[in-house]
Structure 1
Amino acid sequence: MNYSLTVLDWYAVAPGMNHAEAWNAWASLPEFMGFSGEIEKSQRIPMMSARRMSPVSRIAVEAGLALLEKHQIARAVFTSRHGELERTYKILQILAQEQQVSPTDFSMSVHNTAAGWLTITAKNPLPVTSLAAGKDSFQQGLIEARAMLSADEGEKVLLVDFDGVVPELYGNDFAQEYAPYCVALVLTLGEQFTCRRSGEASEEPVPQSLSFLRNFLLNNKTFCIAGEVGQWQWNRKD
């Protein structure tokens, strides 16, 4: 599988990473480093809406709004490996205690919660797709975005990849030192990046979108991103 696209803009959110300069400094470190600190309060999300959002939805909506302010977006793709897992875990705990579940928690526990909040907050009913594909969620989101661009040549697609802290009960190998985080990209047709899938095995605990962002900021011409099976090989022309 080969495809190409161009990245027009980006925006990212993580604890202690409140400015582009911080992200560039993070990318320049010799090794991948986790995040620490606080996430800056949103200046774009109304307070009443922010209170109803989970932490992971807030950062996803914040990133999406930041790019919608600058670009005319035709469609959007939201990708997340775990989605609203923190809120779902809270619901399960309440049910186990035989207590009444909050209607807000119940209605906001679906995987496309962040996508819906973006369209509501931005007052922009753009078509949005939400998907999850395990470790490959970001890469599959890129393929979905590329298909959208093929249908709408000359348009821009917003890709928002995010994840929150996974409760310890689930005992998975997700790299908690990188959560919560969100990486948003504005994509269009072009030859800036070419991607192909390789069967070669690889291991990397870093979420795919963060790995992509780091290589993007370093202006690396070739790099690989680990996937569920094999890896994704990227080449950059500019």
Structure 2
Amino acid sequence: MKFTLDMLDWRALAPGVNSCEHWIQWAHRPDADKFSGEIPKSAQIPMMTARRMSIGSRFAVDIGLSLLENYKVDAAIFTSRHGELEKTGRILHNLANEEPVSPTEFSMSVHNTAAGWLTITGKNPLPVTSLAAGDDSFQQGMLEAQSMLSAGASRIMLVDFDGQIPAIYNESVNSEFLPYAVAIILTAGDTLQCERVSMPDEHQRLPLTQSLQFLRGYLSATPVFDVSAGNRHRWQWSRNL
């Protein structure tokens, strides 16, 4: 499987890494430690609205709104492996302890919460979709964007994010690079090429999520970089310089 596209712009947020300059520095440090530092305050979301969001959704909506200030897009795609697990975890904890469940938390525990918040907060009736495909979610969002561009869309915004993971999942989820959000504006073109490549039987799994692997490769200006995808294949990206 191969496809091509162009990338117009990007934004990203994580604790302690909240400016384009900081992200470029991070991209050139392959041994960078896990994210640490203060949770950045929202620049685009009203305070009372931001307080109702999970951290992952707030990051996603904040950088999505930032890009929409400068670009008109035909649709937005949100991808997330865990979605609103932060809120779902609290709901399950309350149920297990026979405690009341917050109606607000319940209503905002669905996977497309961030996508809905973007249209509401931005007062923008934008077509949105939410995808989850395990640790391959970002790349599946790329395929969705490419199909939309092939069908005639001029610009698509892809937002990949994940929030804080409840402690009960620590043994099964690598959370050292959470929470985070990455947003990119995509158009049809051939500057970036992507090809799915079979993996060897034994390979090293990276702690970074796919969108952070992609952002590091893109910002480091290497001609070819890989994005891992589980145990069976990887996505090889190259740029037409």
Scaled by the length of structure 2, the TM-score of the pair is 0.95
Is the partner of 1:21 in helix, strand or coil?
helix
Is the partner of 1:179 in helix, strand or coil?
coil
Greater than 4 Å deviation, 4+ residue runs: none
CA RMSD of aligned residues (A): 1.2
The one-letter amino acid of 1:77's match is: I
Q: Is the 8 A contact 2:55 2:164 kept in 1?
A: no
- What is the percent sequence identity of the aligned residues? 55
Matches within 5 A, 1:154-169: 155-169=154-168
Deviation at 1:172, TM superposition (A): 4.5
Task: Supply the distance in 2 between the matched residues of 1:60 and 1:147 (Cα, whole angstroms).
Answer: 22
2:217 corresponding residue in structure 1: 215
2:74 corresponding residue in structure 1: 74
Deviation at 1:173, TM superposition (A): 4.4
Is the partner of 2:51 in helix, strand or coil?
helix
Is the partner of 1:193 in helix, strand or coil?
strand
Deviation at 1:25, TM superposition (A): 0.7
Task: Supply the distance in 2 between the matched residues of 1:235 and 1:32 (Cα, whole angstroms).
Answer: 23
Deviation at 1:171, TM superposition (A): 4.0
Deviation at 1:31, TM superposition (A): 2.2
Task: Supply the distance in 1 between the matched residues of 2:138 and 2:171 (Cα, whole angstroms).
Answer: 18
2:64 corresponding residue in structure 1: 64
1:45 corresponding residue in structure 2: 45
The one-letter amino acid of 2:77's match is: V
Structure 1 segments unaligned to the other structure (5+ residues): none
1:185 corresponding residue in structure 2: 184
Using a 3 Å threshold, how does the CA distance of structure 1 residues 148 and 172 change in structure 2: closer, same or farther? farther
**Aligned: 1:237 with 2:240:** yes
Task: Supply the distance in 1 between the matched residues of 2:129 and 2:66 (Cα, whole angstroms).
Answer: 19
Deviation at 1:133, TM superposition (A): 0.3
Deviation at 1:175, TM superposition (A): 2.8
Q: Is the 8 A contact 1:64 1:184 kept in 2?
A: yes
2:112 corresponding residue in structure 1: 112
Q: Is the 8 A contact 1:87 1:105 kept in 2?
A: yes
Q: Is the 8 A contact 2:195 2:235 kept in 1?
A: yes
**Aligned: 1:98 with 2:93:** no
**Aligned: 1:12 with 2:15:** no
The one-letter amino acid of 2:4's match is: S
Is the partner of 1:226 in helix, strand or coil?
strand
Task: Supply the distance in 1 between the matched residues of 2:155 and 2:171 (Cα, whole angstroms).
Answer: 35
Using a 3 Å threshold, how does the CA distance of structure 1 residues 69 and 24 change in structure 2: closer, same or farther? same
Structure 2 segments unaligned to the other structure (5+ residues): none
The one-letter amino acid of 1:224's match is: D
Is the partner of 2:40 in helix, strand or coil?
coil
**Aligned: 1:174 with 2:179:** no
Q: Is the 8 A contact 1:17 1:39 kept in 2?
A: no
The one-letter amino acid of 1:210's match is: L
Aligned length: 237
Task: Supply the distance in 2 between the matched residues of 1:186 and 1:141 (Cα, whole angstroms).
Answer: 12
